[in-house]
Amino acid sequence: QTYNVAIVGATGAVGETMLSILAERQFPIGRLHLLASARSAGEKIDYGAKKIVVEDLATFDPKGIHIALFSAGGSVSKEYAPKFAAAGAVVIDNSSAFRYDDDVPLVVSEVNPEAAKNRPRGIIANPNCSTMQMLVALAPLHRAAGIERINVATYQSVSGAGRSGMEELGKQTAAMLNFQNHEPGKFPVQIAFNLIPHIDEFLDNGFTKEEMKMVWETRKILGDDSIQVNPTAVRVPVFYGHSEAVHLETRRKLTVAEARQLLEAAPGVEVVDERAAGGYPTPVTHAAGTDAVYVGRLREDISHPRGLDLWIVSDNIRKGAALNAVQLAELVVKERC
């Protein structure tokens, strides 16, 4: 059996990776529609040996689509996802538009796959990239020892801000190396050779929305409102791959040996943890272009009796977005077999 698939936002950083991951994993595609705005309608995109013409979302008829992967921003999802669902498609939405709705499951394929089955609105939400990689690694530790509190600082690459984020880092870097100026556009201040402790909008409590996504989504995905999460989200001048310094407090003490054992057995996780130069994951040496969530720098917190420190790195466009979306599509397909 094959499935008619639409990618909404197919010309974007996540959309193009959705397409290549569908091909890599030999997803059973019948008809394939690549959708974007009127700006890029008519462009051609390679899919294997074929060239597929990009269609305008605004005039596209979703009838007959079985699975729609959305990654074109929240306002596009809000307007069009319900229309695709009403036409019979299962929508897998990468935006934050529906993530916090009680009747929309929020699913990490390795963590809570069973939740994807209960989707009264025909929509499954794909989590935020930082939450996604953090929970692939932390869910097995939570199950074993009960996480009470997570302190996390993120180091998030510019591809998380889409294609224009990558362009800005590239152009600014080149300009500065040539002693020229390149004004910030996508990011609030200069990103080249800099760090920006500000992603998404500021909220009333002083946290940014990107930070609060990690609080809300961790609780929803793990199904445990008692977990405390204290995040700082930082944009860094890296093209692909988010990193996270995580400090956990668990109900029962987890030793490094036990944590390592749990992580080595966890689906989607690779432990890279030798206490030597290069014996830890980085975005460039491990994550970019790959599927795993890498964990290193495991150590027991010297300031807390039940604390554990770890460093988590993953490709934000792949596991953090496109790969998980395709894995959710695979779950939907499996239900129907």
159 is in an annotated binding site: yes
Whole-number minimum distance, CB 54 to ligand A2P, in Å? 7
Site size with ligand A2P, rule: CB under 6 A:
17
Binding of ligand A2P at residue 15 (CB under 6 A)?
A: yes
Half-sphere exposure of 283 (CA within 13 A, CB side): 21
Beta-carbon contacts of residue 5 (< 8 Å; ≥ 6 apart)? 22, 27, 29, 30, 31, 32, 33, 65, 66, 67, 68, 69, 329
Binding of ligand A2P at residue 76 (CB under 6 A)?
A: yes
Closest CB to ligand A2P among residues 9, 105? 9
Whole-number minimum distance, CB 75 to ligand A2P, in Å? 7
Binding of ligand A2P at residue 20 (CB under 6 A)?
A: no
Cα separation, 246 vs 243, whole angstroms: 10
Stretch binding ligand A2P (CB under 6 A), from 72-80, 127-135, 140-148, 285-293: 72-80
64 is in an annotated binding site: no
Element containing residue 46 per DSSP (H, E) = strand 44-47
Beta-carbon contacts of residue 157 (< 8 Å; ≥ 6 apart)? 236, 238, 239, 240, 241, 242, 283, 316
Binding of ligand A2P at residue 122 (CB under 6 A)?
A: no
Residue 337 bears catalytic tag? no
Binding of ligand A2P at residue 4 (CB under 6 A)?
A: no
Binding letters toward ligand A2P, positions 44-63, x by CB under 6 A: -------------x------
Closest CB to ligand A2P among residues 36, 271? 36
- Let me know: does 33 contact 62? Beta carbons within 8 Å: no
Binding of ligand A2P at residue 162 (CB under 6 A)?
A: yes
Cα separation, 157 vs 170, whole angstroms: 12
13 is in an annotated binding site: yes
Beta-carbon contacts of residue 114 (< 8 Å; ≥ 6 apart)? none
Tracing tokens 């597929």 back to the chain, one arrives at 52
Query: Out of 66, 129, 142, 182, which one is annotated catalytic?
Result: 129
Catalytic residues: 129, 242
Which residues bind to ligand A2P, rule: CB under 6 A? 9-13, 15, 36-37, 39-40, 57, 72-73, 76, 162-164
